Amino acid sequence: MSARPDRTPLARSFFDRPVLAVAPDLLGRTLVRRTADGPLELRITEVEAYEGEADPGSHAYRGRTARNASMFGPPGHAYVYFIYGMWFSLNLVCGPPGHASGVLLRAGEVTVGADLAAKRRVSARHPRELAKGPARLATALDIDRSLDGTDLCADPDSPLSVLHGTATPPGLVSSGPRTGVGGAGAHHPYRFWLTGDPTVSPYRAHSPRKRPT
């Protein structure tokens, strides 16, 4: 931690690539969130790729709607959605433009503003749990639908941006099936994480909920 990280936002060309190239390349990069209470920074440790309209596991599978419109927009922007009646999750839209592909940020290490994150994540027993899971990550960084469509490449002082960080050597990256995704393509190794990192969320297989009687 002696070297000061690069304060330059990632170039849009970083995101304007196939999602399966972008997703593992995001590991170790820095997500910056600026709130009224102060800045937070997150080192990305776990992601999942969603391959646009051709991917049965993707929100874009059934075409463009009001909710997923951001995924069909330009690369390098945020797609924030509301799920399970109480949580938000953050995606980074990737190229090629119009393919509606994106990377779900599933987990990370809070490196700046851990005190602010802890106030929002009261149930976290340990700093490693602050952003251990997509909804926890969004809660820790105070991310909601108001940030949907935010340009992540514009300015490090914007509400949300992604900065350069140290690129992770491929040998330190693991991959496997996506968490909670069923149906066709459920087995695809579209989930990527930093091998052995304690902030990576536990894998859970897809299991449909039972309906009340």
Partner DNA sequence: TCCCGGATCCGCT
Partner DNA sequence: GCGGATCCGGGAT
- Give me the residues that bind DNA (CB under 7 A), please: 48, 50, 57-60, 62, 65-68, 71, 81-87, 89, 91, 102, 104, 121, 123-124, 129, 133-137, 178-182, 201, 204, 208-212
Minimum Å gap between C-beta 57 and DNA is 6
Task: Kindly tell me which of 6 and 144 has the beta carbon lying closer to DNA.
Answer: 144
| CA distances for 67 relative to 53, 76, 211, angstroms | 14, 18, 25
Minimum Å gap between C-beta 164 and DNA is 23
Task: Kindly tell me which of 2 and 213 has the beta carbon lying closer to DNA.
Answer: 213
Minimum Å gap between C-beta 170 and DNA is 23
CA distance 61 to 210: 24
Task: Kindly tell me which of 30 and 101 has the beta carbon lying closer to DNA.
Answer: 101
Minimum Å gap between C-beta 82 and DNA is 5
State which H helix or E strand residue 22 sits in.
Answer: helix 19-26
H runs (alpha helix) in 91-205: 114-120, 134-140
E strand spans, the chain = 30-35, 38-50, 78-83, 87-94, 101-112, 160-163, 173-176, 191-194
Task: Kindly tell me which of 168 and 179 has the beta carbon lying closer to DNA.
Answer: 179
